[in-house]
Chain A
Amino acid sequence: MDGGRELLTGGVLMVGGVAMFVTALGFPVIPAMAYGPGLFPKIVAVGLFLSGAGIATEGIVGRGAALKERLEVLPILLLAALIVAFILALPWLGFHIAGTLVLIGAILIFRGSWLTAIVFAPIATVLVHMLFYNVLRVPLPWGLLLPIAW
């Protein structure tokens, strides 16, 4: 019986609970008040710890549920990295360039062709621009394209 996933999940939650509790101990205690800002986080931290312990116990006594589906790891990591790159690049490149690039990257990650990527990405970016900038009046950063902003 494989309970490795339960042990990992439970362990992460227990560590998280301990970390949260320790941090909450550092919150100020107001002399006139019996209950400070740390009380509720401490309760939540105990809850995290106990539920983590419960999940780990399930793993130990062999209630480890089988994983429902196998996923390919590489495209998931690529997609996460792509989002990180988009966030970092957005203020600097501006929405239009960063948006087009993130779409090209995502289309390739979802196994679209280069042709689809090159044709679809700029069109979709302009459509999203029109939706947010012209209809909803949300300012999107222009970045490098600021000189030609309209």
Chain B
Amino acid sequence: MDIAALLAAVFDPQILLTILIATLYGSFVGAMPGLTATMAVALLVPFTYFMDPVQAVAAIVATTTTAIFAGDISGALLRMPGTPASAAYVEDSYALARGGEARTTLFVSLFSACIGGVVGVLILATATPLLAAIASNFSSDEAFWLATLGLSCAVLVGGPSVPRNFASLFIGLAIATVGIDVAVGHPRFTFGLQDLYGGISFIPAMIGLFAISELLREAGTRPDLSLGKLVIEPLGTAIRNATRRMRANWRGIGRSSVGGTLIGALPGAGADIAAWIAYAVARRVSKTPEKFGTGHYEGIVNAGAANNAGVAGAWTPALVFGIPGDSVTAIAIGVMLMKGLTPGPNIFESDGLLIQTLFGAFLLANIVMLFTGGLAVAVASWILRVPRAILMPSVLLLSMVGAFAIDGSVTSLWITLVLGVLGFAMVRADIPIAPAVLGVVLGEVVEDNFMVSMMKAQGDLTGFFSRTPAAVLGTITLIVWAALLWRSGRELVRAFRTDDTARNANP
């Protein structure tokens, strides 16, 4: 790889400006309660449509990285995690902020996020080319198994209820079947609408699932957004204290950064699951587990590093196999496909410079975040004073115009609304959204490869195992399926038991 070309690509003024603006945007959206990191990316997508591929991907990674950190701002000041990834340690950061250490807490979050992010990117940049080399001679059999494995994994880790995770996945796959079919060109589930022949357009679908659904939910809430009496310490003291806290916890930072990257790389498990697991592990190995949840820095450091490491980790399966690690990378894959880039092992050969630039931009975003995130911490109490009555309507208008802008058709707006209502209903029914997004993105890939392999094998399912790599992947998939069956069986048995106890206790 030509280092000079790479540096020129990363330090291109346009890319630098994009990263700067995206980190500011990410800080703002992430900090606002009710606006999540995924929503920030969904709203960004219409704009990426008008960017070149590197710029588009740089904008997405910079926005996600900062938004995941900035979720801590409203968590600490309002006890309302700005993004789900900040939920694990919200009790700690809120208690510390009430105790007069708001800025120290947030700088600890920021520094942990930066270190976690950098470690994640380094692992990503090292591991992906190796994995790509292994994956480079995969056929339709392996592609089918990989996509199926990705989807099954999303079901396994998606949420606490296996049937709900499955439901989410199949809802996503059902959405993906809309449109002209790949084999013979028959229109499916288009309700006679010509505009649906090309399938459900991706951008309106994401804006609906992540922005409109949240807006609908927000309309029904009356959150208490008053900051109350808050003593805020001087910036210099906060940074000094935060540095001291970081040094005291260096071991946890290392462990959680690596662990967060690995968890983030599991399809379906994103930054939020990485944060919860890192928090739980930190508590288990801590000398003072009883302090967790009462305003203790250890959990914040660990989970704060893990969620940003998870952001980078999620890109591993996305780039190498085209299987998104979380909702954001699912959206990013959609954006890359729109730009004519097909994520997969071959992209490392065909667009090597682009991938290297992506890693460079990712690294840079984590460093730029130190400044823009620091700025956000400094003005945090002002950011949170932006009234909801102005913020939410603006998001609504941007969503609608963004969905419309792609093809200038009113059908896109209907898709946005229908999927917004669907997303809202799923959230109300406790059905996670991430597996559905994976289903939407991967549906066509799964079906294409399934059909090709079916025709090759003439319906003989053992054909799916005839090549060695396919057999390995197929076996892993079957193991994941067995784990799923075992898990749902255990859940049912436990449910019957608790029901019996409940009945015996209260006849």
Contacts and interface: CB of A to CB of B under 8 A. Distances in A.
A41 B421 CA distance: 23
Contact of A33 (B183, B188, B447): B183
Contacts of A128: 397-398, 401
Interface residues of A, number: 78
B389 A111 contact: yes
* Central interface residue in B164, B166, B170, B502, by most chain A CB within 10 Å: B170
Contact of B47 (A47, A125, A136): A136
Nearest to B167: A51
B136 interface: no
B215 interface: yes
- Range of interface residues on B (Cβ < 8 Å): 35 or more
A128 to B, nearest CB: 6
A71 interface: yes
Contacts of A124: 393-394, 397
Interface in B488-502: 488, 491-492, 495-496, 498-499, 502
Given A61-B499, A116-B387, A125 B186 contact: no
Contacts of B137: none
Given A9-B431, A63-B491, A71-B221, A48 B389 contact: no
A55 B161 contact: yes
Contacts of B404: 90, 140
A112 B391 CA distance: 10
B131 interface: no
A102 B50 contact: no
Ranked 3 nearest A-B pairs via Cβ:
A112-B389, A54-B163, A71-B220
14 contacts: A33-B184, A36-B186, A37-B184, A39-B451, A47-B173, A54-B166, A62-B498, A71-B220, A71-B221, A72-B220, A80-B216, A87-B413, A138-B405, A138-B408
Interface of B: 47, 50, 161-164, 166-167, 169-171, 173-174, 177, 181, 183-184, 186, 188-189, 212, 215-222, 387-390, 392-394, 396-398, 400-401, 404-405, 408, 410, 413-414, 417, 420-421, 424, 428-431, 446-447, 450-451, 454-455, 458-459, 488, 491-492, 495-496, 498-499, 502
Interface of A: 1, 5, 8-10, 13, 16-17, 20, 23-24, 27-28, 30, 33-37, 39-41, 44-45, 47-48, 50-55, 57-58, 61-63, 65, 67-69, 71-73, 75-76, 78-80, 83-84, 86-87, 90-91, 95, 99, 102-103, 106-107, 109-113, 116, 120-121, 124-125, 128, 132, 136-140
